[in-house]
Amino acid sequence: MAETYFRHAAVKGVCTVVPAGRICLDDECCYYDNAAKVARLKTTVGLNERAVVEAKTTPADLMQYAAERMMKDMKLDANTIDALICVLDNPDYKCPPTACVLHGKLGLPETCMAFDINHGCAGYVYGLNVAFSMVESGYKRILLLVGDTKSTTVNIKDRVSAPIFGDGAAATLLERTQDVEESWFVIGAKGKDYENIMIPAGGARLPYSPETAKETTDEFGQTRSLNNFRMNGRNVFDFTMNVVPKNIEATIKYAAKDVADIDYFVLHQANKSIVQNVASRIGVTDKRKVPVETLAKYGNLAVASVPSVLNDVLFEQLQNKKMTVLLSGFGVGLAYGSVILTLDHVYAPSTIVYEGKNHE
């Protein structure tokens, strides 16, 4: 696992946006043999509702909305943004990068660097690591945008994936500070196991075609095509139990801290059972320090999952005091990463509902 330490980069704002559409698990009983399965998904997995976009709304639309809201509320001068980083795996176009498209729509200056990072559930921590590195090297202000509309890639008849994933995006502002602001990252990946979470078709290796659009049903009764998102639930669960606790423990050790030194553990909202099991394995006994309720409100927001917890659960604390938090993302790749950092009176509104139009 790669370890990186920074002293002069700080998060100054976080803003999460979710679409207005909702799908409730209770309305999908037709996909299950009995009501007990639905009840179990609610209590054990932590599912209830998930936020979903309209057909033509893309991650870029949500990301733009989050960025515009943050820039307006924080009275940011677009000309002071040195770099724009977009983390997503469902871009508007194969070419150009989404960051370049949003660069123009946000009115950023030509001196502002713009690039994409193709990533999923660990992408927020990966994006922070890249942004912190750039700030430490001399960039003064960076806008990090993350977003996903996973509901548009899953097959509604795939009961492993469809009930879990919602849609959302987040904007994060990072700045260089003169005072010491310490942060510690520990990041890694198990690329040999990438096939456990993937969309097989649509890339250069296997382009979309009538053949890839054909649906099949597996031995477990899950229906999907090669165009759809798919996940091996058992293998992914094993990955999270074997790798994620060790990653978090390594991050705490690298920072020379103890579990008690962390005010909140903000984990990727994979599902309630996974989050609580990881927390137990790293020795967190106070459940209030490990929020899990965001999943039931909006679903697993993939790359926007971690910041969604900040704006959904911790927005009051973030705006009014200084806290030490551990952020941890894991999933697609199979990639993982954690960071311990300080959040000190940052701009953090409660979760915002997307009310914009599609930016075609």
Q: Which residue has the tokens 């959040």?
A: 343
The one catalytic residue among 121, 196, 271, 311:
121
Nearest to 41 by CA among 21, 26, 22: 26
- Residue 345 bears catalytic tag: no
> CA angle, 116 as apex, 167 and 339 as ends, to 5°?
75
Cα distances (angstroms) measured from residue 280 to each of 81, 270, 324: 40, 15, 19
Per the CB < 8 A criterion, the answer to whether 28 and 60 are in contact is no
The one catalytic residue among 112, 247, 268, 271:
268
Nearest to 46 by CA among 322, 274, 286: 274
Distance of alpha carbon 3 from alpha carbon 250, whole angstroms = 9
Distance of alpha carbon 171 from alpha carbon 144, whole angstroms = 6
The one catalytic residue among 90, 228, 300, 311:
300
- Give the containing element (helix H, strand E) for 235: helix 233-254
Burial of 178 by CB count in 10 Å (0-12 exposed, 13-18 middle, 19+ buried)? exposed
* Cα dihedral 64→66→68→69 (10° resolution): 160
Cα distances (angstroms) measured from residue 248 to each of 231, 301, 306: 23, 21, 14
Burial of 28 by CB count in 10 Å (0-12 exposed, 13-18 middle, 19+ buried)? middle
For strands 141-149 and 83-88, give the pairing. Answer: parallel
How many C-beta neighbours within 10 Å does residue 177 have?
15
- State the distance between the two ends of the chain, measured CA to CA, in whole angstroms: 40
- Residue 268 bears catalytic tag: yes
- Residue 359 bears catalytic tag: no
Nearest to 13 by CA among 73, 62, 63: 73
Distance of alpha carbon 114 from alpha carbon 122, whole angstroms = 20
Catalytic residues: 121, 268, 300
